[in-house]
Structure 1
Amino acid sequence: MGWEIWGHTWAVNLLQGHLRQGRVRHAYLFCGPNGVGRRTLALCFAQALNCPQPLAPGEPCGTCRTCRQIAQMAHPDLLPVQVESGNTLKVDQVRALQHDLQLAPYESRYRVALLLNMERATISAQNALLKTLEEPPGQAILLLTADTPESLLPTIVSRCEVLRLRPLPPADLALILTQERDISPDQARELAHLAGGCPGLALRFYTESERYQDHQRWLQDALYLLGQGRVERFQYIENLSKDRDTFRAALQAWMTLWRDLFLCVSAADVPLTNLAFESALRALAHHLDERQVTYCLAALEQGLAHLDANLNARLLGEILLLGWPYLKPEHVGAPA
């Protein structure tokens, strides 16, 4: 079994080297985009740290009770900390973790703290964690995940071993999906591009049909709205913005659409993300200019940041759609 990781061979080799040489750090920070494999790699490392019957030094068996429980985040010596409510990771959660880390491991060599999506931790929560990073308990290892190191306090990052995970080339991921999941080559290629080379995201699109269908529907809605006036756009946003998580997912889908349009308008020799919409997007690009597309893409990126800062979702959506160009309905195509 061993490390069940697609790609990131260099990261696996680095972590195995630390284990084999007895140079395990007290804290690791796994960075990269959503679905790239941050949590999966962290859990595999936790298995390697505590597997009672490793296949070789640094090589967990993956099948024993300890490995299975860690994979399910249900092991007594694995302490997961993640966003529960309010869209942030709070200082009380960090303080509870600090108390638990002072206890000796129940049955394994290490107590492993797994802090997921640390970019969503409040400043007070990050500051509280500093004390543990500066004076870690002897039998505790902290594993943090975040989108980028820059989203955390520099004092947090400086006390961690940082591993920056990159998406796989879509062609490589498509081949893995075909070989490992028996997905047809055409579907694997679409999923790999749709996920931007992130294995976890590609698998979620494949196994969660609603996620895939929602993404495609939001793209179709965006194309439709480009041919509609202000009243129709406001009515659409009124319904979409009622659920913040759904609204965030729609904005993320729209970002991939406007990125694709930017590639089309600028005639970049780069594959698109939304292959099912390629013909429609290339036709639409003839009615847009680079300035318009750049503005919309930047506004969506800023809109996501404002949504995470708890700004009014409906007002935010109305402002975003007001900034989109108004096109003739016949210029807005649909996927073939």
Structure 2
Amino acid sequence: MRSLLLTILLFSLMGGSVLAQDPVDVSIVINGKALDGDPPPRLVGESIYIPMRKVFTALGAQVRSENNVIIAQRGRLMMSFRPNVNVANVDGKEIELEEAPLLLAGTVYVPLRFDSVAYDGNTKTVTVVPGAAAAAPEISVPQERIALLKTGLTQLVVGNQGAILKVRDASGDKEVYYRGLDDRDTAPYSDKDHDGIVGACGVQNDLKGWVKDTIEAFTVLPKRQAIAFLGMVYSIPSSSVKDPGPAVDDAIEEFLISVVKENKSVVLRRQAVLSMAVGDQEDLEVLEAVLRLYETSENLWETFPVQQYFQYHADDLRKLPNFPAIRARVAAVNSLYTANILQYLDGQKP
């Protein structure tokens, strides 16, 4: 059980905008025993970060540092990573982290994942709960389908601005489809892109089913690639013979909105906005989710694709009867991006 908790705490890293790194008065309790507060937990953005060595040691792991590489081992489970790098190695396999561990005041910190711990805001206590870590959402997708999804999604190379940039073969050694550089002009998908990506991933014969399975099995899949894949499908025009239908679009919209509203990872929220941006048609619920994020987030990295959303959809938005209210909400946001977005909405090029 402690090995499971150790894995969850490291590799389910929760996103958070790095706006502050202040110590917080929060107690950490593991197996009923409170840890001392030196070094203290820290508040980074909206997330509580915990000292990695202290917590992992309390969970029964041996922790050491070699040439700026942090190594944690318990039994046969071994993992290693570098501070401020979002790639880790688990038993010889490289894994991309949603958020990198941070080196703060000489201590390596990892962000809490609140489905593996219980947090009491009244007593300011974080309690590691073994039962919570063991629990997992029920997934009805067959394991062989999940394995195929993992393989296909891992083939996708996803950019910060350009959505899916290219597709590699299953071995990862050969590039089988290339779209362009990581630039906002690359993000909108063409009909050729749809064919190339869907074909390279081998999901052309059951696109509707693969979308359904991706959403249901999301928690066990490469998450960023999964969101990018759903965005690519969402971008298929309704007039195309490849379009899986309005019900699939509705399911993708609902899923992306939930990620933007509820997911703790800034990386995944950002990717969801980019997937919304490349969508084929305007949707009022999607628009509201994007506007709300722009109004409430102070993280410029997270809100960067909001510009792309308005850039790609400005023509359709100007046709809406409530366009003046939309423009006014954008104008009221104190952000470096507001001027550019207003120019897009006004039909001008920044």
More strand by share: 2
More helix by share: 1
Q: What is the TM-score normalised by the length of structure 2? A: 0.28
Larger RCO of the pair (alpha carbons < 8 Å, separation 6+): 1
